[in-house]
Structure 1
Amino acid sequence: MTTATLTPSTPRLSRRLGDIVRLHLANPMTVIVVPLLVLTAMFAVMIAIALMIVIGTGDSSAAASFSKGFQYSGTSFYIFVYMMVVAVQAMNATFAYALGLGVTRRDYYLGSAVTWVLFSVAWSILFLVLGAIEQATRGWGMNVRMFTAIYYGEEPVGRAVIVFCAFLFFFFAGTAAAAVFVRWKALGVTVMLVGLAFVLVGLGFIVTLTANWPAVGAWFVASGPLGVALWSLVLTALLAVAGWALLRRATPRG
């Protein structure tokens, strides 16, 4: 007579990472609904400003005179920063809970990274669709540009790649900031921001002393929006590594 030996089975990596993705999506109001409301509010403000200009000129065709200004519109930029805040909130809200469920730090971080990639893909598709509508309607009938601003390039596919890279950068910037907060709370984040400010000012000072601002500008022009976006993946990778290095030793504190 033989006795069967039962060994605990470990769920596959894909299932474990999927659990983390679902954990981040457990509160869709925070990570999906509110960001969409923020984007809608920004769009409404832009349309309201355009309407005021059209009404003020008394001629809708006069909107063409300010269309050049709208091509440099930074109206949509805030959503990138807001999603960085969403990443900070999501990590801070779920990290301790996930560890309490027995999730390893490695699985949690990889699952979070998968979540950010999926979010970035979804947002880039949304921008692509809204950009197509914006072009088809000639700037929502008033020659305004929010989803096809000059910073996003002219080609639809390239525009989607740029938006994807931008969201991915801000998501992982939020992840690194969240890891700092988990380990050292508000003081750590404050020190990080002050240190970052000093680094940026220092770099600007060095470029100024060496009179290299024209070279910096020439590099941006030569690279173009798509080239700059692709180069940003290097910074995104560094942020991802930094976030993991901090989070792998982080202990949730009350």
Structure 2
Amino acid sequence: MNRLLAAARLNTMNPLMTIGIPWGIVLLSFVINLAVWGLTPASEQPGGGITGGVASLYITVLAVFTQSVTQLLPFAMGMSLSRRTFYLGTALAALALSLLYGVALSALVAVEDATGGWGLRLNFFAPGRLDVDNAALQVVVSGAPMLAAAFLGVAIGVVMKRWGALGLWTLVIGAMVVFGGLVVAITWRGWWGDIGTWLVAQSTVTLAIAIPVALALVAAVVSFAGLRRVVP
């Protein structure tokens, strides 16, 4: 257990990287959106304005956990921590960070709702259906996608550490081919309307919790399998 906690604490060795940069980026995005809403008619939209700026926090967390594998794994193995211990410690850090960020986002959503969208009807920290009007549930709704982002970052880090730049570019190109092919196929078959109808019919719990958790589990299994053969 002590070695597991030591592996988890490795992810907190540089708080500027793990906490400062993600929140600095999302707060910068918030300030920019706030300025746009204050200086343009965006606040006059029916139902208030929605922005996807909070996604920057999730994307940055993904990058942070990618670096956790590429930069911390050699150091961890130099401390005689096994790959398994390092992985479990990183997974524990991802769970703790997702919960912490979920609580922080839930508090910010509460302030956002209480101030009428910061006085400008700006829905930033929980746009659209992601605002569930329940503090406890909001923690999970905001935290589950964060967990998915963290484990996707770990998986990408494993690819980079095991196969290098070639593996990363293969992953990027493969994703472009798969998703690009899906877009072409959906457009060709005229399924966009059906997909939109299906998404609207799903509950917030399904979209914001069930799907991200399932994605996190898949990424966790794949990354653990790949990490076993990574050379530091």
Shorter-chain TM-score range: over 0.9
Deviation, 1:69, is 5.4
Per-residue CA shift, 1:142-162, capped at 9, x if unaligned? 211111310413333433222
Alignment of 1:152-167 (within 5 A): 152-156=130-134, 157-167=136-146
User: What TM-score, normalized to structure 1?
Assistant: 0.85
What is the correspondence of 1:1-254 to structure 2 with a 5 Å cutoff? 14-53=1-40, 65-66=44-45, 68=47, 70=49, 72-156=50-134, 157-229=136-208, 230-252=210-232
Is the 1:67–1:144 contact (alpha carbons within 8 Å) kept by the matching residues of 2?
Answer: no
User: Aligned partners of 1:184, 1:148: CA distance in 2, in Å?
Assistant: 37
Residues 182 and 250, structure 1, Cα contact 8 Å, conserved in 2: yes
Count residues in correspondence: 230
What is the DSSP-based 3-state SS (H/G/I as helix, E as strand, rest coil) of the residue aligned with 2:80?
coil
In 1, distance between residues paired with 2:118 and 2:131?
Answer: 19
Question: Could you tell me which amino acid in structure 2 is paired with residue 83 of structure 1?
Answer: V
So what's the TM-score if we normalise by structure 2? 0.92
Distance between the aligned counterparts of 1:64 and 1:98, measured in 2? 49
**Residues 144-201 of structure 1, C-alpha deviation per residue, up to 9 Å, x if partnerless?**
1111310413333433222111111111111110000101111110111100111112
Q: Cα deviation per residue 1:101-134 (whole Å; 9 max; x = unaligned)?
A: 1111111111101100111101111110000001
Cα distance in 2 for partners of 1:151, 1:189 equals: 34
Segments of 5+ residues of structure 2 without an aligned counterpart are: none
Larger Rg: 1
**Misfit runs of 4+, over 3 Å:** 208-211
